[in-house]
A and B are shown apart, each in its own frame.
Chain A
Amino acid sequence: MTATAPAREAAPAVVVHRVTFGRVLRGEWIKFRTLRSTVWTVVITAVVMVGLALMMAAIVRTMVDTPEMAEGMSQDPGLQAIGLTGTTIVSFGYSFGALAVGVLATLIVTSEYSTGTVRSTFAAVPRRLPVLWAKLVVIVLTTAVVVAVALVIAFVSTAPLLEDAGMSVDLSDPEQVRALVGCVLYLATVAAFALAVGTLMRHSAGAIFTIVAIFFVVPLIFSIVVQASDAAWTDWVNKLLPSVAGERIISRGAETDALLDPWVGYAVLVGYTVVLLVAAAITLKRRDA
């Protein structure tokens, strides 16, 4: 440290460029990759997704040798609803993935508020909105790439087990391809949804609670309510829940009146996400930081 005034006359002029979206994006990417917690969350998500796929593949492989178990599973209504195929096994960890990317996407914005970083961020980018869109690009692309990589690894590593079980993934079947691509799309969209909720709520605990409630608790309650009640509205609310609607794109189960068509369901989730992002953008621009 220099106790005297800095000798800056000698230094060449500092080159400062205009703020562009590309530069804001680079800044957000640096922020994303320089936090150990983010990097670990991403790695663990991929590892758990591959691990769950391998576990399920190992279970169906044992079914071949134990007919009693195969019979038990074929009569399990839960498994029938999922429609157990090679694709469902490969993408089996998507639910855990949704929790992980949901929390991660929430935190990349709420942690800016809890640590005060947001003041530095908005001092550098006072128009604010480029920051939100840059975070969106970072979290959505990262999620898509990580999930795609996890699915490829899961696909390759489960292939021998699934072949033995007679449940190989058939990439010539458009429905199976849709389900795998849908897994990537669904998790990327959940990330965008969570980013919007985090921006709207700004507090980590509250935002994470909201995401968990919307994607895990409410659907659980409604799965029970729908069974217990004959009221038509419960069916409608259930099939329009963000997770229930969005997950349709991954499912391989039979088409029923109780659920939306895969692409329609996914479109509903995208619709919620867009509305939340617009609301997030408006409040971000208006509120005091």
Chain B
Amino acid sequence: MIEAHGLTKRYGPKLAVDDVTFTVQPGVVTGFLGPNGAGKSTTMRMIMGLDRPTAGNVTVNGSSYPQHGRPLAEVGALLEAKAAHPGRTARQHLLALAATHGIAPSRVDEVIELTGLSAVARKRVGGFSLGMGQRLGIAVALLGDPRTLILDEPVNGLDPEGVLWVRNLARFLAGEGRTVFLSSHLMSEVALTADHVIVIGRGRILADMPVQQLVDGASRRLVRVRSPQAADLADALRREGGDVAPGDDGAFEVTGLDAARVGELAAAGGAVLHELTPVSSTLEEAYLELTADSVEYQAEALDDAGRATGAETGATTDGAPR
């Protein structure tokens, strides 16, 4: 179990993590979702005692991480793919870490086999691919058979088989009653692996809910309708239990009724339809909507001519007001 209370981290003028409070429960996989630069890694580093919080505190299994007598048995963490000296072999790196907890070399060989590194265990880490580095990081995390696992972007650099393996491993470990906290910037990844999700953007918690709830909210369908008799039609739709919200340029968006029903009601009421478009928002769209204001490095949208729309709009406003 991980409990963070008012956790804050400031780097100079920049607030990387802003008064974050959450609990990660054992027995389930908790996803930590957010765009790059949202504060995921910083939060995880504070849990591990690597970064000192500016304010607030965080405990793992009841006490702050450095206070545990057998840290590797409490938390296993994968924080960066390359956290080993390139001149050492994978096995030597694991042996050195195992020695600090009196963990037997047989356990080192066990995690090497478990993470599929047997063939390269005696090769130097410098020659490892990103995926192999990631597997070594996971091997380090598993070394002390920890009650809590913290995995920062664990599937980065892994091939599809490796991605599947990490998902299965995370679910298996949670199934054993362990706490599994894994971060990703991909909604789809979290949806596939996690049971619970904490969404972070610009250092703030945007959502903390079961994944199913986020998915249900995301996959609500809406129908875009355009009609000269908009007001009458809207009333008719509302009477049938639809939810009507004004959309862009005269269209309105209906939720709670499907396109066929909207068409039938329009026909029954004699309303002319200029447009009837079913729109289904994807999981990624819901996530983008949730984090839209909190993306650290936002790409400017481009129009057809490839110019930044922001500049285009500005020119229009200056030259010929609409």
Q: Indicate with 1 or 0, residue by residue over B117-144, a CB within 8 angstroms of chain A CB atoms.
A: 0000000000000000000000010001
Q: Which chain B positions have C-beta within 8 A of A5?
A: 168-169, 171-172
Q: Which chain B positions have C-beta within 8 A of A3?
A: 161, 164-165, 168
Answer whether residue A124 sits at the interface, using C-beta atoms and an 8 A cutoff: yes
Q: Indicate with 1 or 0, residue by residue over A90-124, a CB within 8 angstroms of chain B CB atoms.
A: 00000000000000000000011001110111111
Q: In the complex, how many angstroms separate the beta carbon of B118 from the nearest chain A beta carbon?
A: 9
Q: In the complex, how many angstroms separate the beta carbon of B6 from the nearest chain A beta carbon?
A: 19
Verify B88–A35 contact, CB threshold 8 A: yes
Measured CA separation A29–B169 after assembly (Å) = 33
Q: In the complex, how many angstroms separate the beta carbon of B56 from the nearest chain A beta carbon?
A: 15
Answer whether residue B100 sits at the interface, using C-beta atoms and an 8 A cutoff: yes
Task: Describe A's contact surface by its main secondary structure.
Answer: loop
From A11-19, A174-182, A183-191, the one touching the partner chain is: A11-19
Q: Which residue of B lies closest to A119 (CB)?
A: B83
Partner of A17, one of B97, B102, B171: B102
Measured CA separation A4–B161 after assembly (Å) = 10
Partner of B97, one of A4, A8, A112, A120: A120
Q: Which of B75, B83, B89, B93 has the most CB atoms of chain A within a 10 A radius of its CB?
A: B83
Q: In the complex, how many angstroms separate the beta carbon of B182 from the nearest chain A beta carbon?
A: 15
Q: Which residue of A lies closest to B49 (CB)?
A: A126
Verify A16–B79 contact, CB threshold 8 A: no
Verify B101–A19 contact, CB threshold 8 A: yes
Measured CA separation A128–B107 after assembly (Å) = 24
Verify B82–A115 contact, CB threshold 8 A: yes
Q: In the complex, how many angstroms separate the beta carbon of B191 from the nearest chain A beta carbon?
A: 19
Verify B88–A14 contact, CB threshold 8 A: no
Q: Which chain A positions have C-beta within 8 A of B102?
A: 15-18, 23
Q: Indicate with 1 or 0, residue by residue over B37-58, a CB within 8 angstroms of chain A CB atoms.
A: 0000000010011111000000
Verify A288–B52 contact, CB threshold 8 A: yes
Verify A289–B50 contact, CB threshold 8 A: yes
Q: In the complex, how many angstroms separate the beta carbon of B27 from the nearest chain A beta carbon?
A: 16
Q: Which chain B positions have C-beta within 8 A of A288?
A: 45, 50-52
Q: Indicate with 1 or 0, residue by residue over B64-101, a CB within 8 angstroms of chain A CB atoms.
A: 01101111110101011011111111001101111111
Partner of B144, one of A2, A14, A122: A14
Q: Which chain A positions have C-beta within 8 A of B66?
A: 126-128
Measured CA separation A258–B232 after assembly (Å) = 104
Q: Which chain B positions have C-beta within 8 A of A27?
A: 96-100
Verify B72–A115 contact, CB threshold 8 A: no
Q: Indicate with 1 or 0, residue by residue over B269-309, a CB within 8 angstroms of chain A CB atoms.
A: 00000000000000000000000000000000000000000
Q: Which chain B positions have C-beta within 8 A of A14?
A: 73, 103, 107, 144-145
Answer whether residue A232 sits at the interface, using C-beta atoms and an 8 A cutoff: no
Q: Indicate with 1 or 0, residue by residue over A116-144, a CB within 8 angstroms of chain B CB atoms.
A: 11011111111110000000000000000
Verify A19–B161 contact, CB threshold 8 A: no
Q: Which chain B positions have C-beta within 8 A of A11?
A: 110
Answer whether residue B209 sits at the interface, using C-beta atoms and an 8 A cutoff: no
A16-B102, A26-B99, A288-B50 as given contacts; A117 in contact with B84, CB under 8 Å: yes
Partner of B92, one of A16, A30, A127: A30
Answer whether residue B104 sits at the interface, using C-beta atoms and an 8 A cutoff: yes
Q: In the complex, how many angstroms separate the beta carbon of A22 from the nearest chain B beta carbon?
A: 9
Measured CA separation A123–B88 after assembly (Å) = 18
Q: Which of A1, A17, A27 has the most CB atoms of chain B within a 10 A radius of its CB?
A: A1
Q: In the complex, how many angstroms separate the beta carbon of A38 from the nearest chain B beta carbon?
A: 9
Verify B87–A37 contact, CB threshold 8 A: yes
Q: Which chain B positions have C-beta within 8 A of A13?
A: 145
Measured CA separation A8–B177 after assembly (Å) = 14
Q: Which chain B positions have C-beta within 8 A of A128?
A: 66
A2-B116, A3-B165, A288-B51 as given contacts; A16 in contact with B101, CB under 8 Å: yes
Q: Which residue of A lies closest to B97 (CB)?
A: A124
Q: Which of B66, B100, B165 has the most CB atoms of chain A within a 10 A radius of its CB?
A: B100
Q: Which residue of B lies closest to A120 (CB)?
A: B83
Nearest 10 CB-CB pairs, A to B? Answer: A1-B116, A17-B102, A5-B172, A126-B66, A14-B145, A27-B99, A34-B92, A30-B96, A16-B73, A27-B100
Besides A3-B164, A17-B102, A26-B99, 18 other CB < 8 A contacts?
A1-B115, A2-B114, A5-B171, A14-B73, A16-B103, A16-B145, A18-B101, A19-B101, A34-B88, A116-B82, A117-B85, A119-B50, A123-B75, A124-B100, A126-B49, A126-B68, A128-B66, A288-B45
